[in-house]
Amino acid sequence: MSRRVLFLVVCVVAMLMLVACRRSQSTGPSISRSEAKELLMRINQTLSTDDRVAIEQYIEQSGLQGVRQSPTGLFYLIEGDTSGQRAALNSVVEYRYSITLLDSTECYAPAEPKQIMVGKGGVESGVEEALQLMHEGQRAMLIIPPHLAHGLAGDGQQIPPRAIIVYRIELMSVVAR
């Protein structure tokens, strides 16, 4: 974790402690809710900008062409024929995937495909978003910032806190509901 991110996290924790422990009889420094909100918004904006810059550097260093960015901040590159059925909310989809970090550290590469109902959770929100852009048989590379992946905490296993993840996915089947 970079020193800047660590500093920002420490600032957030300190600010939250000040807000949570604030009492009317307190004589120490305090922060108002509006000041806390403004501080959190600035920290979030800084972290989001840092994530976007890291992703753009990864794309450039990897020589990737045609990568798109969604309004939510998901970066994706979808390849393959669009003649297959498109995944949509409440579709049951089956897909194969692997997850790495930006430095190519492998986090997950299960042998068995995963099956979910799109829009019902149980998977990163960036993956849910991407699946709805895909057609059966297509492959995609997703570069998912922390706010669409595992956030501040990571997954508690292989994905560290505030990690940007690279998701490679093949949409094997779509069953409309």
pLDDT tens for 4-37 read 655 556 656 666 665 665 554 556 568 888 888 8
Q: Are 131 and 171 in contact (CB under 8 A)?
A: yes
Predicted TM-score of the model (pTM)? 0.81
Inter-residue contact 6 to 43 (CB < 8 Å): no
Instruction: Please report how many Cα atoms fall inside a 13 Å half-sphere around the Cα of residue 38, on the Cβ side.
Output: 5
**DSSP annotation of 104:** -
Mean local confidence (pLDDT), 118-147: 95
Strand, coil or helix: 30? coil
Q: How far apart are CA 86 and CA 147, in angstroms?
A: 25
% of the chain exceeding 70 in pLDDT: 83
pLDDT tens digits for range 41-59: 898 889 889 999 999 999 9
What CATH number is given for 68-175 in this structure?
3.10.50.40
* Largest Cα–Cα separation, the chain: 67
pLDDT for the residue numbered 24: 47
